[in-house]
Protein backbone atom coordinates (compact mmCIF):
# COMPACT_ATOMS: atom_id res chain seq x y z
CA UNK A 1 0.00 0.00 0.00
CA UNK A 2 1.41 3.39 -1.04
CA UNK A 3 1.54 5.95 1.72
CA UNK A 4 0.84 9.65 1.29
CA UNK A 5 3.88 11.93 1.11
CA UNK A 6 2.29 14.43 3.49
CA UNK A 7 -0.34 12.91 5.80
CA UNK A 8 -3.57 14.82 6.34
CA UNK A 9 -5.90 15.02 9.33
CA UNK A 10 -9.36 14.35 7.88
CA UNK A 11 -12.82 14.36 9.44
CA UNK A 12 -15.46 12.24 7.68
CA UNK A 13 -19.13 12.95 8.44
CA UNK A 14 -21.70 10.30 7.51
CA UNK A 15 -24.93 8.54 8.41
CA UNK A 16 -24.85 5.49 10.65
CA UNK A 17 -27.05 3.25 8.50
CA UNK A 18 -26.74 0.35 6.07
CA UNK A 19 -26.88 2.71 3.10
CA UNK A 20 -24.18 2.77 0.44
CA UNK A 21 -23.01 6.24 1.48
CA UNK A 22 -22.13 4.92 4.94
CA UNK A 23 -20.39 1.91 3.42
CA UNK A 24 -18.34 4.18 1.19
CA UNK A 25 -17.47 6.57 4.02
CA UNK A 26 -16.18 3.72 6.16
CA UNK A 27 -14.30 2.15 3.27
CA UNK A 28 -12.70 5.50 2.46
CA UNK A 29 -11.76 6.10 6.11
CA UNK A 30 -10.06 2.70 6.27
CA UNK A 31 -8.21 3.27 3.00
CA UNK A 32 -7.00 6.71 4.09
CA UNK A 33 -5.52 5.44 7.36
CA UNK A 34 -3.78 2.66 5.45
CA UNK A 35 -2.16 5.41 3.39
CA UNK A 36 -0.92 7.16 6.52
CA UNK A 37 -3.61 9.82 7.08
CA UNK A 38 -5.33 10.51 10.36
CA UNK A 39 -9.09 9.99 10.08
CA UNK A 40 -11.95 10.84 12.42
CA UNK A 41 -15.49 9.65 11.59
CA UNK A 42 -18.30 11.72 13.09
CA UNK A 43 -21.85 10.33 12.93
CA UNK A 44 -25.11 10.52 14.78
CA UNK A 45 -25.03 6.77 15.49
CA UNK A 46 -22.20 4.30 15.01
CA UNK A 47 -22.03 2.89 11.46
CA UNK A 48 -22.58 -0.87 11.24
CA UNK A 49 -19.54 -1.50 9.02
CA UNK A 50 -16.15 -2.40 10.52
CA UNK A 51 -13.60 0.40 10.81
CA UNK A 52 -9.83 0.13 11.10
CA UNK A 53 -8.71 0.47 14.74
CA UNK A 54 -6.75 3.56 13.70
CA UNK A 55 -9.97 5.35 12.71
CA UNK A 56 -11.32 7.52 15.52
CA UNK A 57 -15.10 7.37 16.01
CA UNK A 58 -17.26 10.13 17.52
CA UNK A 59 -21.02 9.65 17.82
CA UNK A 60 -23.97 11.20 19.59
CA UNK A 61 -25.58 7.84 20.39
CA UNK A 62 -23.96 4.44 20.79
CA UNK A 63 -27.01 2.41 19.77
CA UNK A 64 -27.27 2.06 16.00
CA UNK A 65 -30.47 1.38 14.08
CA UNK A 66 -29.63 -0.69 11.02
CA UNK A 67 -33.28 -0.92 9.97
CA UNK A 68 -33.45 2.84 9.37
CA UNK A 69 -32.08 3.61 5.89
CA UNK A 70 -31.43 7.28 6.63
CA UNK A 71 -32.20 9.89 9.22
CA UNK A 72 -33.48 12.50 6.79
CA UNK A 73 -35.86 14.46 8.92
CA UNK A 74 -33.74 15.38 11.87
CA UNK A 75 -35.41 17.43 14.54
CA UNK A 76 -34.05 20.87 15.36
CA UNK A 77 -32.84 19.40 18.63
CA UNK A 78 -30.80 16.69 16.88
CA UNK A 79 -29.45 19.12 14.30
CA UNK A 80 -28.24 21.40 17.05
CA UNK A 81 -26.74 18.53 19.06
CA UNK A 82 -24.83 17.23 16.04
CA UNK A 83 -23.70 20.73 15.08
CA UNK A 84 -22.33 21.19 18.60
CA UNK A 85 -20.60 17.80 18.51
CA UNK A 86 -18.89 18.54 15.20
CA UNK A 87 -17.98 22.13 16.06
CA UNK A 88 -16.50 21.08 19.40
CA UNK A 89 -14.56 18.26 17.73
CA UNK A 90 -13.05 20.59 15.12
CA UNK A 91 -12.24 23.22 17.73
CA UNK A 92 -10.58 20.84 20.18
CA UNK A 93 -8.46 19.18 17.50
CA UNK A 94 -8.50 20.96 14.14
CA UNK A 95 -8.28 18.96 10.92
CA UNK A 96 -6.86 19.75 7.50
CA UNK A 97 -10.11 18.88 5.72
CA UNK A 98 -13.70 17.85 6.39
CA UNK A 99 -15.57 15.51 4.03
CA UNK A 100 -19.31 14.88 4.45
CA UNK A 101 -21.30 12.15 2.75
CA UNK A 102 -24.85 13.06 1.58
CA UNK A 103 -26.20 16.59 1.52
CA UNK A 104 -29.18 15.89 3.76
CA UNK A 105 -28.83 16.91 6.48
CA UNK A 106 -25.08 17.41 6.48
CA UNK A 107 -24.83 20.36 4.09
CA UNK A 108 -27.05 22.26 6.53
CA UNK A 109 -25.01 21.06 9.51
CA UNK A 110 -21.79 22.19 7.82
CA UNK A 111 -23.32 25.63 7.20
CA UNK A 112 -24.07 25.94 10.91
CA UNK A 113 -20.62 24.76 11.93
CA UNK A 114 -19.00 27.18 9.47
CA UNK A 115 -20.90 30.08 11.00
CA UNK A 116 -19.63 29.09 14.44
CA UNK A 117 -16.00 28.51 13.50
CA UNK A 118 -15.56 31.34 11.00
CA UNK A 119 -11.96 31.48 9.68
CA UNK A 120 -11.10 28.35 11.69
CA UNK A 121 -13.42 26.24 9.51
CA UNK A 122 -11.35 23.73 7.49
CA UNK A 123 -11.82 23.23 3.74
CA UNK A 124 -14.94 21.15 3.04
CA UNK A 125 -15.63 18.46 0.46
CA UNK A 126 -19.20 17.19 0.05
CA UNK A 127 -20.38 14.10 -1.80
CA UNK A 128 -23.85 13.71 -3.32
CA UNK A 129 -24.48 9.98 -3.07
CA UNK A 130 -27.91 9.64 -4.65
CA UNK A 131 -31.11 9.93 -2.69
CA UNK A 132 -29.97 13.25 -1.25
CA UNK A 133 -29.94 14.74 -4.77
CA UNK A 134 -33.07 13.01 -6.09
CA UNK A 135 -35.05 14.08 -3.02
CA UNK A 136 -33.96 17.68 -3.50
CA UNK A 137 -34.91 17.62 -7.17
CA UNK A 138 -38.34 16.14 -6.36
CA UNK A 139 -39.10 18.90 -3.84
CA UNK A 140 -39.95 22.36 -5.15
CA UNK A 141 -37.97 23.93 -2.32
CA UNK A 142 -35.13 21.40 -2.51
CA UNK A 143 -32.83 23.03 -5.08
CA UNK A 144 -32.97 26.36 -3.26
CA UNK A 145 -32.24 24.61 0.04
CA UNK A 146 -29.25 22.89 -1.51
CA UNK A 147 -27.89 26.07 -3.08
CA UNK A 148 -28.02 27.93 0.25
CA UNK A 149 -26.32 25.23 2.26
CA UNK A 150 -23.66 24.29 -0.30
CA UNK A 151 -22.19 27.77 0.09
CA UNK A 152 -19.96 26.39 2.85
CA UNK A 153 -18.70 23.51 0.65
CA UNK A 154 -15.44 24.09 -1.22
CA UNK A 155 -15.54 21.08 -3.53
CA UNK A 156 -18.51 18.93 -4.54
CA UNK A 157 -18.33 15.36 -5.79
CA UNK A 158 -20.73 12.64 -6.84
CA UNK A 159 -20.38 8.95 -7.53
CA UNK A 160 -21.32 8.44 -11.20
CA UNK A 161 -21.80 10.19 -14.53
CA UNK A 162 -25.51 9.56 -14.09
CA UNK A 163 -25.51 11.59 -10.88
CA UNK A 164 -23.50 14.39 -12.48
CA UNK A 165 -26.08 14.53 -15.24
CA UNK A 166 -28.89 14.82 -12.68
CA UNK A 167 -26.96 17.62 -10.97
CA UNK A 168 -27.25 19.66 -14.18
CA UNK A 169 -30.87 20.31 -13.13
CA UNK A 170 -29.74 22.21 -10.06
CA UNK A 171 -29.98 26.01 -10.14
CA UNK A 172 -27.16 28.27 -11.22
CA UNK A 173 -24.60 28.97 -8.55
CA UNK A 174 -23.95 25.32 -7.67
CA UNK A 175 -20.69 24.05 -9.14
CA UNK A 176 -20.86 20.92 -11.27
CA UNK A 177 -19.78 18.00 -9.08
CA UNK A 178 -16.68 16.03 -9.97
CA UNK A 179 -17.21 12.29 -10.45
CA UNK A 180 -15.25 10.25 -7.91
CA UNK A 181 -16.69 6.75 -8.08
CA UNK A 182 -17.30 4.30 -5.28
CA UNK A 183 -14.66 1.59 -4.93
CA UNK A 184 -13.70 -1.71 -3.34
CA UNK A 185 -10.56 -2.73 -1.47
CA UNK A 186 -7.59 -3.99 -3.45
CA UNK A 187 -7.75 -7.34 -1.64
CA UNK A 188 -11.51 -7.86 -2.04
CA UNK A 189 -11.49 -11.66 -2.68
CA UNK A 190 -12.42 -13.50 -5.80
CA UNK A 191 -14.86 -16.40 -5.66
CA UNK A 192 -13.95 -19.81 -4.21
CA UNK A 193 -14.29 -22.87 -6.38
CA UNK A 194 -17.89 -23.98 -6.34
CA UNK A 195 -17.86 -27.74 -6.53
CA UNK A 196 -20.61 -30.28 -6.08
CA UNK A 197 -24.15 -30.25 -7.41
CA UNK A 198 -25.64 -27.66 -5.10
CA UNK A 199 -28.42 -25.36 -6.21
CA UNK A 200 -27.56 -22.00 -7.84
CA UNK A 201 -27.45 -19.14 -5.35
CA UNK A 202 -29.08 -15.82 -6.23
CA UNK A 203 -27.91 -13.08 -3.87
CA UNK A 204 -29.48 -9.74 -2.95
CA UNK A 205 -27.71 -7.32 -0.60
CA UNK A 206 -29.20 -3.96 0.32
CA UNK A 207 -30.74 -1.77 2.98
CA UNK A 208 -34.08 -3.25 1.84
CA UNK A 209 -36.12 -0.12 1.30
CA UNK A 210 -38.78 0.73 -1.27
CA UNK A 211 -36.36 1.99 -3.93
CA UNK A 212 -34.94 -1.56 -4.17
CA UNK A 213 -38.35 -2.80 -5.48
CA UNK A 214 -38.57 -5.97 -3.42
CA UNK A 215 -41.81 -6.93 -5.20
CA UNK A 216 -39.89 -7.15 -8.46
CA UNK A 217 -37.14 -9.09 -6.70
CA UNK A 218 -39.70 -11.64 -5.44
CA UNK A 219 -41.32 -12.05 -8.87
CA UNK A 220 -37.98 -12.52 -10.59
CA UNK A 221 -36.68 -15.01 -8.04
CA UNK A 222 -39.87 -17.08 -7.99
CA UNK A 223 -39.87 -17.35 -11.78
CA UNK A 224 -36.24 -18.52 -11.77
CA UNK A 225 -36.69 -20.88 -8.83
CA UNK A 226 -39.67 -22.61 -10.45
CA UNK A 227 -37.42 -23.75 -13.32
CA UNK A 228 -34.02 -24.17 -11.65
CA UNK A 229 -34.58 -24.74 -7.93
CA UNK A 230 -32.27 -21.78 -7.23
CA UNK A 231 -31.89 -20.40 -3.72
CA UNK A 232 -32.27 -16.76 -2.74
CA UNK A 233 -29.90 -15.34 -0.15
CA UNK A 234 -30.95 -12.01 1.36
CA UNK A 235 -28.32 -10.00 3.23
CA UNK A 236 -29.12 -6.74 4.98
CA UNK A 237 -32.00 -5.21 6.86
CA UNK A 238 -34.53 -2.47 6.35
CA UNK A 239 -38.14 -1.35 6.50
CA UNK A 240 -39.36 -3.51 3.58
CA UNK A 241 -37.98 -6.79 4.93
CA UNK A 242 -41.06 -7.90 6.93
CA UNK A 243 -43.37 -7.63 3.89
CA UNK A 244 -40.86 -9.45 1.70
CA UNK A 245 -40.48 -12.25 4.23
CA UNK A 246 -44.24 -12.65 4.44
CA UNK A 247 -44.59 -12.85 0.67
CA UNK A 248 -41.79 -15.39 0.23
CA UNK A 249 -42.94 -17.48 3.20
CA UNK A 250 -46.30 -17.97 1.47
CA UNK A 251 -44.67 -18.99 -1.83
CA UNK A 252 -43.63 -22.43 -3.14
CA UNK A 253 -39.99 -21.30 -2.72
CA UNK A 254 -40.21 -20.62 1.01
CA UNK A 255 -37.66 -23.32 1.87
CA UNK A 256 -35.19 -21.96 -0.69
CA UNK A 257 -34.76 -18.54 0.94
CA UNK A 258 -32.01 -17.76 3.45
CA UNK A 259 -32.05 -14.58 5.53
CA UNK A 260 -28.47 -13.66 6.36
CA UNK A 261 -29.07 -10.40 8.22
CA UNK A 262 -26.41 -7.72 8.47
CA UNK A 263 -23.01 -9.23 7.74
CA UNK A 264 -19.70 -7.93 9.05
CA UNK A 265 -17.95 -10.07 6.40
CA UNK A 266 -19.99 -9.35 3.25
CA UNK A 267 -17.17 -10.42 0.94
CA UNK A 268 -17.75 -14.07 1.86
CA UNK A 269 -21.41 -13.78 0.91
CA UNK A 270 -20.66 -12.21 -2.46
CA UNK A 271 -18.01 -14.81 -3.22
CA UNK A 272 -20.34 -17.72 -2.48
CA UNK A 273 -23.16 -16.64 -4.81
CA UNK A 274 -23.77 -17.64 -8.42
CA UNK A 275 -25.50 -14.42 -9.53
CA UNK A 276 -26.34 -11.12 -7.89
CA UNK A 277 -29.88 -9.71 -8.30
CA UNK A 278 -30.45 -5.95 -8.29
CA UNK A 279 -34.03 -4.81 -8.92
CA UNK A 280 -33.79 -1.14 -7.94
CA UNK A 281 -35.94 1.51 -9.54
CA UNK A 282 -33.05 3.95 -9.07
CA UNK A 283 -29.37 3.53 -8.24
CA UNK A 284 -26.88 6.37 -8.14
CA UNK A 285 -23.97 3.97 -8.57
CA UNK A 286 -24.73 0.39 -7.56
CA UNK A 287 -22.12 -0.33 -4.90
CA UNK A 288 -23.39 -3.84 -4.16
CA UNK A 289 -23.28 -4.58 -7.89
CA UNK A 290 -19.61 -3.57 -7.94
CA UNK A 291 -18.86 -5.69 -4.87
CA UNK A 292 -20.47 -8.70 -6.52
CA UNK A 293 -18.57 -8.16 -9.77
CA UNK A 294 -15.25 -7.84 -7.91
CA UNK A 295 -15.97 -11.20 -6.28
CA UNK A 296 -16.59 -12.78 -9.68
CA UNK A 297 -20.36 -12.87 -9.27
CA UNK A 298 -22.11 -11.40 -12.34
CA UNK A 299 -25.05 -9.08 -11.73
CA UNK A 300 -28.55 -9.38 -13.14
CA UNK A 301 -29.74 -5.82 -12.75
CA UNK A 302 -32.27 -3.25 -13.82
CA UNK A 303 -30.53 -0.88 -16.21
CA UNK A 304 -31.17 2.22 -14.14
CA UNK A 305 -29.09 5.11 -12.83
CA UNK A 306 -25.37 4.44 -12.70
CA UNK A 307 -25.60 0.65 -13.08
CA UNK A 308 -25.02 0.66 -16.89
CA UNK A 309 -21.70 2.39 -16.17
CA UNK A 310 -20.65 -0.87 -14.47
CA UNK A 311 -22.63 -3.62 -16.17
CA UNK A 312 -22.48 -4.19 -19.93
CA UNK A 313 -25.36 -6.38 -20.97
CA UNK A 314 -24.37 -9.91 -21.99
CA UNK A 315 -20.67 -9.04 -21.53
CA UNK A 316 -20.11 -8.93 -17.77
CA UNK A 317 -23.70 -9.32 -16.55
CA UNK A 318 -27.32 -8.98 -17.62
CA UNK A 319 -29.38 -5.78 -17.73
CA UNK A 320 -33.15 -5.66 -18.01
CA UNK A 321 -36.03 -3.23 -17.87
CA UNK A 322 -38.35 -3.69 -14.85
CA UNK A 323 -41.31 -4.46 -17.10
CA UNK A 324 -39.30 -7.21 -18.83
CA UNK A 325 -38.63 -9.30 -15.74
CA UNK A 326 -40.13 -12.42 -17.33
CA UNK A 327 -37.67 -12.14 -20.21
CA UNK A 328 -34.94 -11.57 -17.63
CA UNK A 329 -35.97 -14.76 -15.86
CA UNK A 330 -35.72 -16.67 -19.15
CA UNK A 331 -32.22 -15.28 -19.71
CA UNK A 332 -31.10 -16.25 -16.21
CA UNK A 333 -32.43 -19.78 -16.62
CA UNK A 334 -30.51 -20.11 -19.89
CA UNK A 335 -27.37 -18.69 -18.29
CA UNK A 336 -27.50 -21.12 -15.38
CA UNK A 337 -27.67 -23.95 -17.89
CA UNK A 338 -24.49 -22.74 -19.66
CA UNK A 339 -21.54 -23.01 -17.24
CA UNK A 340 -18.92 -21.84 -19.74
CA UNK A 341 -20.89 -18.70 -20.54
CA UNK A 342 -21.45 -18.03 -16.85
CA UNK A 343 -17.70 -18.38 -16.25
CA UNK A 344 -16.98 -15.93 -19.07
CA UNK A 345 -19.33 -13.34 -17.57
CA UNK A 346 -17.72 -13.83 -14.16
CA UNK A 347 -14.23 -13.25 -15.55
CA UNK A 348 -15.39 -10.15 -17.43
CA UNK A 349 -17.08 -8.85 -14.28
CA UNK A 350 -13.82 -9.14 -12.31
CA UNK A 351 -11.93 -7.32 -15.06
CA UNK A 352 -14.42 -4.47 -15.09
CA UNK A 353 -14.39 -4.17 -11.30
CA UNK A 354 -10.59 -3.83 -11.33
CA UNK A 355 -11.06 -0.25 -12.58
CA UNK A 356 -12.74 0.56 -9.25
CA UNK A 357 -10.08 -0.80 -6.92
CA UNK A 358 -8.83 1.23 -3.98
CA UNK A 359 -5.41 1.84 -5.57
CA UNK A 360 -7.06 3.61 -8.52
CA UNK A 361 -9.73 5.65 -6.74
CA UNK A 362 -8.37 6.74 -3.35
CA UNK A 363 -5.57 8.86 -4.91
CA UNK A 364 -8.34 10.79 -6.68
CA UNK A 365 -9.79 11.70 -3.29
CA UNK A 366 -6.37 12.69 -1.99
CA UNK A 367 -5.82 14.91 -5.02
CA UNK A 368 -9.18 16.59 -4.54
CA UNK A 369 -8.48 17.16 -0.85
CA UNK A 370 -5.23 18.92 -1.67
CA UNK A 371 -6.94 20.99 -4.37
CA UNK A 372 -9.48 22.13 -1.78
CA UNK A 373 -6.66 23.04 0.61
CA UNK A 374 -4.83 25.05 -2.02
CA UNK A 375 -7.98 26.84 -3.15
CA UNK A 376 -8.80 27.81 0.44
CA UNK A 377 -5.23 29.00 1.06
CA UNK A 378 -5.25 31.18 -2.06
CA UNK A 379 -8.71 32.70 -1.51
CA UNK A 380 -8.81 36.24 -0.11
CA UNK A 381 -9.50 36.47 3.60
CA UNK A 382 -13.04 37.54 4.44
- What does each of the 382 residues of the chain score in pLDDT, given as a tens digit? 677 678 999 999 999 877 788 889 999 999 999 999 999 999 988 888 889 999 999 998 876 555 444 556 788 988 999 999 999 999 999 999 999 999 989 999 999 999 999 999 999 999 999 888 888 888 888 888 888 889 899 999 999 999 999 999 887 778 889 999 999 999 887 555 454 448 999 999 998 989 999 999 999 999 999 999 999 999 988 889 999 999 999 999 999 999 998 877 778 889 899 999 999 999 999 999 999 999 999 999 999 999 999 999 999 999 999 999 999 999 999 999 999 999 999 999 999 999 999 999 999 999 999 999 998 888 765 4
Question: Does residue 240 share a domain with residue 316?
Answer: yes
Question: Does residue 368 share a domain with residue 231?
Answer: no
Question: Does residue 66 share a domain with residue 165?
Answer: yes
The answer to whether residue 3 is domain-embedded is no
* Structural domain that includes position 59: 9-183+357-378
Question: Does residue 346 share a domain with residue 225?
Answer: yes
The answer to whether residue 263 is domain-embedded is yes
pLDDT of residue 197: 44
pLDDT of residue 191: 53
The answer to whether residue 196 is domain-embedded is no
Q: What is the 3-state secondary structure (H, E, C) of the chain?
A: CCCCCCCCEEEEEECCCCCHHHHHHHHHHHHHHHCCCEEEEEEEECCCCCCCCCCEEEEEECCCCCCCCCCCCCCHHHHHHHHHHHHHHHHHCCCCEEEEECCCCHHHHHHHHHHHHHHHCCCEEEEECCHHHHHHHHCCCHHHHHHHHHHHCCEEEECCHHHHHHHCCCCCCCCCCEECCCCECCCCCCCCCCCCCCCCEEEEEECCCHHHCHHHHHHHHHHHHHHHCCEEEEEECCCCHHHHHHHHHCCCCHHHEEEEECCCCHHHHHHHCCEEEECCCCCCCCHHHHHHHHCCCCEEEECCCCHHHCCCECCCEEEECHHHHHHHHHHHHHHHCCHHHHHHHHHHHHHHHHHHEHHHHHHHHHHHHHHHHHHHHHCCCC
pLDDT of residue 196: 41
The answer to whether residue 193 is domain-embedded is no
Question: Does residue 118 share a domain with residue 148?
Answer: yes
Total of domains in the chain: 2
pTM: 0.91
CATH number at residue 71: 3.40.50.2000
Question: Does residue 239 share a domain with residue 262?
Answer: yes
Amino acid sequence: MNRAATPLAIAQVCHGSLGGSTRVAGRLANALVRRGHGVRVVARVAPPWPLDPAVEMQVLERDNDTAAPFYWDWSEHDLERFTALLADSLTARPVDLLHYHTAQPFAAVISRVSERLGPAMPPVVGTLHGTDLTRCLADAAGPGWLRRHLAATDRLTTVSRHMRHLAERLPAGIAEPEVLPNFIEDDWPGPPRRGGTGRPVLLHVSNIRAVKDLGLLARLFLAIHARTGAELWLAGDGPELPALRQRLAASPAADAVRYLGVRADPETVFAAATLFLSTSVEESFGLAVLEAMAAGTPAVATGVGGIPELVEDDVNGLLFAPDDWQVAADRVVALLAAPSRLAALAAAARRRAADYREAHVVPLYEGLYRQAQRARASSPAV
